[in-house]
């Protein structure tokens, strides 16, 4: 006769709450008979449930939810390749990255770029409008806000809940850190520098990519090539942290209210600013939305230790990430395979170099985008996770010009 599972555990000492929690989670993850416990991705992400093998769990979960809505226009990354990619970087010198589309109920829609820097942890940037993909855009720059240091296994998650909204994998792959190169002339920008590829060693250096990321992060300037599955070949950006932004952003305190104060409204000139590139990224009209994105990770589960270390339990902030620092992101056109035409009908325009092909892209939001792994939309993820009545924040508009 089979022995009941209740008699199979130790009697002394009595199990702690932590042990009970782990036993329940592991039993549900293995699908054993007995007490039925639903372990959702959102519960795992929030630390309310624990599993032993994140790769196996999430690959099994996502594999059962794959949709082949339009494979010709939206080819998917096979689950086996998705698993191999992650497994290949499960070591101290891994260089895995993920871009999550995050439809948060408070912060609204934004995109999380997470870069592995150790065997357990990733630095995370919230980018309100996603990565730049149009070299001819009138709005070249993007804001990237440091958030908490996450666990590496967070790169595997697609989840949904009323508290955190929907999370799906927009793209994933491996990154390279290219050398920082000084401008050839005094006022040249990153895009006007000479051809980066002529000086780049093609990744043959013996220094691991995550160590180069660590070093570049300390200098506050990262030239980052993302080798994903949606992003164009050789897609490269620069992330720059101005010295004025070396600390976390603090919301200005409202001035004390005074009675019978006459408010004089001054007319503000609409002429374009002549300030430098740092001032061009100053937080103005979108300030409220930007602050909401920066604070999206600060929910009811946050504890003082997370605030002190700027890392979630299980992750280690050995890279020195600071919460809510504001970085500036630019498309590195030259390193991405583009050049500025000097003659002909395209004179003055950025075009693909001979033998190169850069296909511009636009980040278009929840209604137009699907997961690269499951083919699901934000609404699909909500339905699959049983989230009903979710009210998304409005006002987000894609940058199409």
Residues 350 and 342: their CA atoms lie apart, in Å, by 10
Q: What pLDDT, on a 0 to 100 scale, did the predictor assign at position 4?
A: 54
Q: What pLDDT, on a 0 to 100 scale, did the predictor assign at position 354?
A: 85
Collapse the DSSP code of 155 into the 3-class scheme (helix H, G, I; strand E, B; otherwise coil) and give the result.
helix
Q: Can you give the residue ranges of every domain in the chain?
A: 14-52, 69-181+190-247+286-384
State pTM to two decimals. 0.78
Q: What pLDDT, on a 0 to 100 scale, did the predictor assign at position 181?
A: 76
Please state whether 150 falls in left (phi above 0), alpha (psi between -120 and 50) or beta: beta
Q: What pLDDT, on a 0 to 100 scale, did the predictor assign at position 311?
A: 96
Nearest CA-CA partner of 200 in 222, 176, 179: 179
Nearest CA-CA partner of 133 in 155, 154, 111, 152: 111
Q: Compute the radius of gyration of the chain from its Cα atoms.
A: 23
Per-residue pLDDT of the chain (401 residues; tens, 9 = 90+): 554 554 444 444 444 444 434 433 444 444 445 454 568 898 898 888 888 899 999 999 999 999 987 877 889 999 999 999 999 999 999 999 999 999 999 999 999 999 999 999 999 999 999 999 999 999 999 999 999 999 999 999 999 999 999 999 999 999 999 999 744 534 344 554 444 444 454 545 689 999 999 999 999 999 999 999 999 999 999 999 998 887 766 655 656 665 555 444 444 333 333 334 443 444 444 555 555 565 555 554 457 889 899 999 999 999 999 999 999 999 999 999 999 999 888 888 898 888 888 899 999 999 999 999 999 999 999 999 999 999 888 889 999 98
77 alpha-carbon distance from chain centroid: 18
Contact of 388 with 400, CB cutoff 8 Å: no
Residues 130 and 143: their CA atoms lie apart, in Å, by 9
Q: What pLDDT, on a 0 to 100 scale, did the predictor assign at position 23?
A: 39
Residue 101 host element (H or E)? strand 96-104
State the alpha helices, DSSP H only, in 226-303.
Answer: 287-294
């Amino acid at each position: 006769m089979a022995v009941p599972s209740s008699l199979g555990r130790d009697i002394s000492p009595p199990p702690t709450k932590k042990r009970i929690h782990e036993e329940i989670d592991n039993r549900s993850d293995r699908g054993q008979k007995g007490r039925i416990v639903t372990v959702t991705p959102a519960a795992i992400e929030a630390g309310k449930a624990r599993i032993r093998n994140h790769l196996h769990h999430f690959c099994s979960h996502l594999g059962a939810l794959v949709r082949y809505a339009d494979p010709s226009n939206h080819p998917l990354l096979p689950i086996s390749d998705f698993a191999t990619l992650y497994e290949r970087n499960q070591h101290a010198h891994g260089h895995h990255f993920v871009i999550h589309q995050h439809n948060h109920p408070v912060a609204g829609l934004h995109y999380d770029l997470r870069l592995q820097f150790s065997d357990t942890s990733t630095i995370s940037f919230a980018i309100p409008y996603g990565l730049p993909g149009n070299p001819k855009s009138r709005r070249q720059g993007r804001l990237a806000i440091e958030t908490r240091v996450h666990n590496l296994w967070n790169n595997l998650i697609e989840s949904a809940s009323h508290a955190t909204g929907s999370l799906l994998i927009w793209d994933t792959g491996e990154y390279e850190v290219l050398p920082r190169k000084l401008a050839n002339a005094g006022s040249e920008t990153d895009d006007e520098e000479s051809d980066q590829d002529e000086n780049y060693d093609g990744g043959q250096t013996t220094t691991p990519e995550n160590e180069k990321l660590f070093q570049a992060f300390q200098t506050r300037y990262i030239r980052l090539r993302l080798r994903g599955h949606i992003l164009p070949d050789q897609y490269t950006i620069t992330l720059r942290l101005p010295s004025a932004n070396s600390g976390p952003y603090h919301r200005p305190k409202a001035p004390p209210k005074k009675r019978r104060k006459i408010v004089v409204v001054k007319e503000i000139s609409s002429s374009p600013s002549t300030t430098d590139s740092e001032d061009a990224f100053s937080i103005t009209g979108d300030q409220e939305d930007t602050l909401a994105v920066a604070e999206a990770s600060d929910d009811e589960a946050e504890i003082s230790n997370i605030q002190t270390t700027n890392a979630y339990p299980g992750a280690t902030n050995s890279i020195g990430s600071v919460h809510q620092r504001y970085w500036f992101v630019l498309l590195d056109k030259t390193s991405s395979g583009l050049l500025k035409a000097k003659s002909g009908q395209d004179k003055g325009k950025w075009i693909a170099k001979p033998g190169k092909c850069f296909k511009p892209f636009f980040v278009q939001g929840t209604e137009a985008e699907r997961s690269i792994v499951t083919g699901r939309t934000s609404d699909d993820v909500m339905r699959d996770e049983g989230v009903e009545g979710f009210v998304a924040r409005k006002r987000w508009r894609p940058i199409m010009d």
